[in-house]
Amino acid sequence: MKIFPSKKINLITYLEKEEVLFKLKENTEKIKNKYPKKKSKKIYEGNIDNDCFLIQKIIYSRNSFSPQIKGTIIDKKNKIKIELEFELRSFTYILVLMFSIAIGISFIATFGGIFTLEFSPLICLAHLIILMFLYFNMYFEFNRETESVELNFKNILQGTITTRNNND
């Protein structure tokens, strides 16, 4: 099991490459680090080059588990293949890692306190429940947002989605 969620998919579309780029740019704005964000008619923010892009869904609430999307556009003979990788944002990696380390250190300290009879064993259980909740929430929110993004891409680019192995 992976500690942090990620997903790789392929999207096949029969649009021309220029039309794919146009539709992506039409739904993506440049990154603006302004908070609170003003409502935008576009769905994504990020950078789009000729054959690759790095975008993320524009969120107006606090959802750190929304994925960052790395895409590569591959021009085949009569179709376009878009390889998409969904990963957590760097900030989220660091935040979850620091929180997990803090809970882990606290768990070790209270576990030691059990043997000196200073703490109840239930306190250690509480630490494990907090970590389980964190990771369950992270996977649940990530998968929910990823499915939403997949559906958006499928509709925008009029394509079909296939999964890929993590070794591709």
Topology (CATH level 3) of domain 6-90+147-163: TATA-Binding Protein (3.30.310)
Looking only at Cα atoms, what is the longest distance across the chain? 71
The token duo for 160 is: 């079909």
| Nearest Cα residue to 58 out of 29, 84, 85, 18 | 29
Residue 165 has pLDDT above 80, yes or no: no
pLDDT tens for 5-21 read: 999 999 999 998 899 99
Report pLDDT for 76: 86
Contacts of 62 (CB under 8 A, 6+ apart): none
Rounded-to-integer distance, Cα 27 and Cα 45, Å: 8
pLDDT tens for 108-161 read: 888 777 777 777 778 878 888 999 999 999 999 999 999 999 999 999 998 888
Query: So where are the chain's domains?
Result: 6-90+147-163
Rounded-to-integer distance, Cα 86 and Cα 145, Å: 10
- 107 three-class SS: helix
